[in-house]
Structure 1
Amino acid sequence: MNVLLVTVDSLRADRVTSSVMPATRSFADDAVEFTECIANGPSTPASFPAIHASRHFASIEGLGIPPRDADGDIRTLAEMLSDAGFATAGYTDNHFASGSYHYDRGFETMYDASGTAEAGRLKQFVQSNLDKNGALFRTIETVYNRVDALLAGATDADSEYERAASLNERALEWIDEQSDDWFSWLHYMDAHHPYEAPEAYQQQFLDEPLSLSRCRGLSRKGTHHPEDVTDEEWELIRQLYDAECAYIDDQFDALLDALEERDLLEETVILFTADHGELVGEHGHAGHPPEFWEGIVRVPFVLHHPDRDGDAVDGQIRLLDVAPTIADAVGRPPFEGWQGASALPVADGEIGAREYAFGDVGRQIEYGRCCARRADGWKLLRHADDGEFCFDVTEAPAESPADDRSGDGRPEYDELSQALDDHQERMRRFREDGSVGIDEEDAMVEDHLRDLGYL
C-alpha cells in the first residue's frame, strides 16, 4: 500500500465546499472526513512538528525538530515508513517545512523549492533591504509592490511560491520511477499570502482579475496594516483567497486523476490536510497571526483508504494524529514517543473524541500564546499581552467580544485553564529533557520569516 500526504499551507476547513473546492469536497464525501480537526499551532513552525513527528511544538526547544542523530526520542513518519521499506520523497516550498529545520529526516528524496529558486534568493535580497517596520516602508509600499511584481514578471514567476501544478509534476515523475511501496509528501503553498491566483481562478470570484502588484499589495496591507483595510478591500482579499483555494482544488484533483490513470488510486492511502487555517478579515486580521481563533485552528483532515467507505466523523482530533493515523492505515505500529494517536478508532466508534486539543506558539514570547479546545467546543485562548478569551464555539462560532466568558466564573473556564496549565508544564519538562531544534535567534530564522512575509 502506498501513502500520499498532501498538506496545504493556510487552508481553512470551511473552504472545502462545493462552491469553492468542489473536487476536494467530492473527494471528502467519498473518504473518511474528520470534521473537527484542530491544528496544534497557528503557523507552519508551530504545526509541522505535530504533522511529521507527532510532537507538540512546545515540547521542542527552538524551531523544527532535532537532527536524526541528536534525539532518539523523536521519530518522523517518513523515518518509520522508510525503515519499513517504503521509498520516500517530499516536495515543499516553505522554509519552515524543509530540510533547514530537519524535516528531511527519513526522506530519500527532498525537493525544497524555497532553498533552490534563484528568483526567491533575489527577492529575498530585495526584501531584506527594505525596513517594513518603519515609516519609510509605508511611504514606498506602493512602489515596492510594483517592483516586486516586475521582478516576478522578469523571472516568469507568477507566484511567490512554486505552484502546486509544478510540485505535482515533480512528485509524479518520482512516483513513476517506483516499483515498490512509496510514501510521497507534497506541501502546497498557494493559499498562503500573498493571494495571487491565476486570472482564470480570479474570474470565478471577482468581476475583473487584479494585477499581480494589486494582489500582493492587498495581501501585505491585510497582514501588516489591517487597521487601514477598507470593507471593499476585505471583500477583495476574501475573493482572492477563495481563488487560490479553487486553484488548489483543481491541482489536487489533477493529482488524483493522475494516480487513477496509473491504476494507483486504489493502492494508495491518501491524507489531505493543512498546517493551519487563515483569517480573511475576522478579528481585524488577514493571514495567520499567533492567535487561536477558529479560522486559524480548524483545518481539513480527509483520509482516503481503499478498504474504507465514506464517512463524516464529528469527534475532535488534532494534527498531532497525522503520523499515527497513517501508520495505522498501513498496518504499522506507532512510534512510542509520538504524542498523538491514530484517529481511526475515533472513526470506528471504538473510542471517543480527543477530550482536549492544545496549541502553542513560542517565538520570543515564552509560550505565552497558547490555547486549549475541549471536544464539546469550549475553548480557552491565551494571547499573552492581548489577554485571555473563553468561548463556547458551538454556540458562538464568531468568537466575538460579547461572547467571551473568561470573566464569568464559568466552571468550563476553570477546567480549561487547569488543563492548559498542566499541558504547558508537560511541555516545559520535555524541553528540559533536551529535545532541541533550531535556535529561534538564529539569523536564518529571521531571514525565513522575512521571506515568507511575516516581518
Structure 2
Amino acid sequence: MNVLLVTVDSLRADRVNSEVMPETRSFADESVEFTDCVANGPSTPASFPTIHASRYFASIEGLGIPEPGTDDGIQTLAETLREAGYATAGYTDNHFASGSYHYDRGFDTMYDASGTAEAGKLKQFVQSNLDKSGALFKTIERVYNHADALFASATGNDSEYERASSLNRRAFEWIDEQEEGADGEDSEGDSEWFTWLHYMDAHHPYEAPEEFQRQFLDEPLDLARCRGLSRKGTHHPEEMTDEEWDLIRKLYDAECAYVDDQFGKVLNALENRDLLDETIVLFTADHGELVGEHQHAGHPPEFWEGVLRVPFVVHHPEREAAVVDGQTRLIDLPPTITDALELEAFDGWEGESAWELADGEVDSREYGFADVGRQVDYARCCARRSDGWKLMRHADDGEFCFDYRANPDEKPEDDRADDDIPEYRELSQALDDHQERMKQMREGSSHGIDEDDEMVEDHLKDLGYLE
C-alpha cells in the first residue's frame, strides 16, 4: 500500500465545503473524515514536529527536529516507512518545513523550493532590513508592493511560493519512476512509496490565478493589490476597512479554490495510473488562518478556532466512508498512518492512532494541546478539551476560556477566564501539567536547529509570523 500525505499551509477546516473546495469536499465524503482535528500549534514551526515526528514543538529545544543520530527519542514518519522498505520523497516550499530544519530525515528525495526562489530571497532581504512598525516602511510600503509585483512579473514568479501545480508535476515524475522502475521495466509489487506534498498557496499573500479570483470577485486584483492587502491585514490590521476585510476573505477563498483544483488533479492522476485503490491518501493542514476574526489576518501566535481547526481526511482503499466527530490532533498523524499500514508505531511518538476513534475504541482524545516556542518563552499555549471547553494563554494579552461549541465566535462577552468555574480550573491544571512535562522533555532532549535569535526572527518575518 502506497502513502500520499498532502499538507496545506494555512487551510481552515471550514473551507472544505462544496462552494469553495468541491473536489476536496467530495473526497472527504467518500473517505474517513475526522471533523474535529486540532493543530498542535498556530504556525508551521509549531505544527510540523507533530506532523512528521509525533512530538510537541515545546518538547524540543530549538527549531525543527534534531539531526539524525543525535536523539534516540525522535524518529520521523518517513524514517519509519523507509525502514519498512518504502521509497520516500517530499516536496515543499516552506523554509520551516524543509531540510534546513531536518525535515528531510527519512526522505530519499527532498525538493525544497524555499531555498531557491528569487522572489523569496527578495522578500527575505526586504523584511530583514526594514522595520514594519517604523515610519520609513509605512511611507514606502506602497512603492514596495508595486516593486515586488514588478520583480515577480519580470522573473516569471506570479506567486510568492512555488505553485501546487509545479510541486504536483515534480512529485508525479518521481512516483512514475517508482512505478516503472529505474530501468523502465514495470516493478509492480516492489514499488511501495511514501510521498509528501506541502502546498503553500493558501498561505498569505493571497494571490490566486485570475480564473479562481473570478469565482469570488467581479474582477481579479493585480499582484501588487493582492500582496498589499495581505501585508496590511497581517501587519496593520487596525487600519483595515470592512471592504478590505471582505476582499481578504474572497482572495483567501480563491487560493483555497486553487488548492482544491490541484488536489483534484492529484486524485485524478492517481486514478488514471490505477493507483488510487492501492494508495492511502491523507489530506490535512499544518494550521488554519484568520481572515478578519479578532481583527487579525494570517495566523498569529494565538489559538482561536479559525487557527486551530484543520481538515483531517483519510482515503483508505480497504475502509468505507465514515464521519468521525471525536476530537483528534495533528500529533496523531504518524501513528494513524503506521496503523493503517499495520506497522509498529515508534515508541517515542506522543500521538495515538485516529483509527481507534473511527473504530469506536475511544470516543475522542480528551485533550488537544498547542504551544508556541521560545520567542515568547512558551507563554503562549492552549488546552482544548473534547467536551467543548478551551483555555488559551496569550502571554501579556491574558487568558481566555471559552466553550467553543456553545460560543464558536469566541466573543469577549463569552469569555469565562475570570469566573471561578470547574472547567477553567481543570483546564488550567491540565495545561500546567503539560507545560511542565514539555519543559522536562526539552531539558532531556537533543537540540533542533539552535540558530541565533536574529536569524530566527528573520525566518519568522519571512513567513509573516512577526512584524
TM-score of the alignment, normalized to the shorter chain, above 0.5: yes
Match of 1:45 in 2: 45
Match of 1:314 in 2: 325
Match of 2:311 in 1: 300
Match of 2:294 in 1: 283
Amino acid at match of 1:253: G
Aligned equivalent of 1:327, options 301, 321, 338: 338
Pair 1:186 & 2:204 matched = no
Amino acid at match of 1:282: E
Residues 59, 435 of structure 1: 8 Å contact kept: no
Q: Secondary structure at the match of 2:248?
A: helix
For residues 397 and 446 of structure 2, the distance between their equivalents in structure 1, rounded to whole angstroms, comes to 29
Amino acid at match of 2:301: P
Q: Secondary structure at the match of 2:392?
A: strand
Deviations 1:109-152 (A, max 9, x none): 00000012234324433443333231111111100100100010
For residues 376 and 245 of structure 1, the distance between their equivalents in structure 2, rounded to whole angstroms, comes to 30
Deviations 1:177-219 (A, max 9, x none): 0041000000000000000000100000011110100000000
Gaps of 5+ in 1: none
Aligned equivalent of 1:396, options 407, 418, 426: 407
Displacement of 1:60: 0.3
Match of 1:125 in 2: 125
For residues 432 and 401 of structure 1, the distance between their equivalents in structure 2, rounded to whole angstroms, comes to 37
Match of 1:134 in 2: 134
Amino acid at match of 1:340: G
Q: Secondary structure at the match of 2:391?
A: strand
Displacement of 1:449: 1.9
For residues 20 and 374 of structure 2, the distance between their equivalents in structure 1, rounded to whole angstroms, comes to 34
Pair 1:253 & 2:264 matched = yes
For residues 210 and 32 of structure 2, the distance between their equivalents in structure 1, rounded to whole angstroms, comes to 33
Matches within 5 A, 1:151-166: 151-166=151-166
Displacement of 1:247: 0.2
Matches within 5 A, 1:34-433: 34-179=34-179, 180-433=191-444
Residues 42, 308 of structure 2: 8 Å contact kept: yes
Deviations 1:245-288 (A, max 9, x none): 00000000001100100000000001000000000000000000
Deviations 1:1-54 (A, max 9, x none): 000000000000000000000000000000000000000000000000000000
For residues 306 and 234 of structure 1, the distance between their equivalents in structure 2, rounded to whole angstroms, comes to 41
For residues 130 and 333 of structure 2, the distance between their equivalents in structure 1, rounded to whole angstroms, comes to 39
Residues 119, 160 of structure 2: 8 Å contact kept: no
Pair 1:9 & 2:9 matched = yes
For residues 108 and 248 of structure 2, the distance between their equivalents in structure 1, rounded to whole angstroms, comes to 39
Residues 357, 363 of structure 2: 8 Å contact kept: yes
Q: Secondary structure at the match of 2:368?
A: strand
Q: Secondary structure at the match of 1:36?
A: strand
Gaps of 5+ in 2: 180-190
For residues 36 and 320 of structure 2, the distance between their equivalents in structure 1, rounded to whole angstroms, comes to 19
Displacement of 1:442: 4.8
For residues 128 and 413 of structure 2, the distance between their equivalents in structure 1, rounded to whole angstroms, comes to 41
Amino acid at match of 2:219: E
Deviations 1:329-351 (A, max 9, x none): 11111000000011001001011
Deviates more, 1:52-61 or 1:432-441: 432-441
Displacement of 1:452: 1.9
For residues 351 and 158 of structure 1, the distance between their equivalents in structure 2, rounded to whole angstroms, comes to 47
Q: Secondary structure at the match of 1:85?
A: coil
Q: Secondary structure at the match of 2:371?
A: strand
Displacement of 1:439: 2.0
For residues 304 and 88 of structure 2, the distance between their equivalents in structure 1, rounded to whole angstroms, comes to 35
For residues 123 and 405 of structure 1, the distance between their equivalents in structure 2, rounded to whole angstroms, comes to 41
Displacement of 1:353: 0.3
Q: Secondary structure at the match of 1:68?
A: coil
Residues 363, 440 of structure 1: 8 Å contact kept: no
Displacement of 1:443: 4.4
Residues 207, 227 of structure 2: 8 Å contact kept: yes
Displacement of 1:440: 5.2
Match of 1:439 in 2: 450
